Amino acid sequence: MVWLRRCTHYLFIVVVAVNSTLLTINSGDYIFYTDWAWTSFVVFSIANTLMTIVGAVYYLTFTGVPGTATYYGLIMQVYTWVAKVAWFALGYPVDFIVHPMWIPSCMLLDLAYWATKKNKHSLIFFGGVLVGMSMPLFNMVQLMLIADPLETAFKYPRPTLPPYMTPIEPQVGKFYNSPVALGAGAGSVLACTFAALGCKLNTWTYRWMAAWSKWD
């Protein structure tokens, strides 16, 4: 089964594709519906942070090239831009959907890897904290550039929204009354664990390929 060893890079590509689409883009319903953006900001931020970082670190440690994580974020961003066209075709307004902003956080991940001379331990700690704290911040900027999300929900009644679901304020009173603060704080801690997972997946993949290719 030496073909396994020769096809390892294909496996990495498949994992990158699956993680970026099925896991990252789909975590928290993948695109911010702005009338729910404020209510669901924390859970979206944390889910997106975790899924982005595991895939980006897996890909980054595979190629060893700083710039890979940015490439990973770019793929997702462009993909969702194309997908957004489907919503316009259905008649939804432009600011009804805002994509999560992945690229700047992925750039910071590349920066951490490059600045620490490709040290994986530093990637896990510094990269994890940077991505976890920055992703809610960059997404907050997006929401500031559109009409107020909660107000939008009540001024423009969405025909497909289940009528008994009323967007509510995020319950973040203890966290400086801000979903960004909670998302950043929780994300910075949790992201380190998933960055570590990304590194381990890379190591395990090589070990499995080495082991399985010797089965025959």
Q: Which residues bind other proteins (CB under 8 A)?
A: 9, 59, 62-68, 70-71, 73-74, 77-78, 81, 90-95, 98-99, 101, 103-104, 106-107, 110, 141-142, 145-147, 154-160, 163-164, 166
CB of 46 to other proteins, least distance (A): 21
Cβ(41)–Cβ(136) below 8 Å: yes
Cβ(137)–Cβ(182) below 8 Å: no
Nearer to other proteins, 55 or 73 (CB): 73
CB of 189 to other proteins, least distance (A): 26
Nearer to other proteins, 168 or 189 (CB): 168
CB-count exposure of residue 53 (10 Å: 0-12, 13-18, 19+): buried
Give the three-class secondary structure for 164.
coil
Nearer to other proteins, 42 or 110 (CB): 110
CB of 114 to other proteins, least distance (A): 9
CB of 63 to other proteins, least distance (A): 5
Q: Each residue of 133-149: b (16+ CB within 10 Å) or e?
A: bbbbbbbbebbeebeeb
Nearer to other proteins, 67 or 185 (CB): 67
Encoded tokens for 55: 């895939």
Cβ(180)–Cβ(143) below 8 Å: no
CA–CA dist 49, 210 (Å, integer): 31
CB of 174 to other proteins, least distance (A): 23
Nearer to other proteins, 82 or 216 (CB): 82
Encoded tokens for 139: 């997404």
Residue 33, strand partner residues? 97
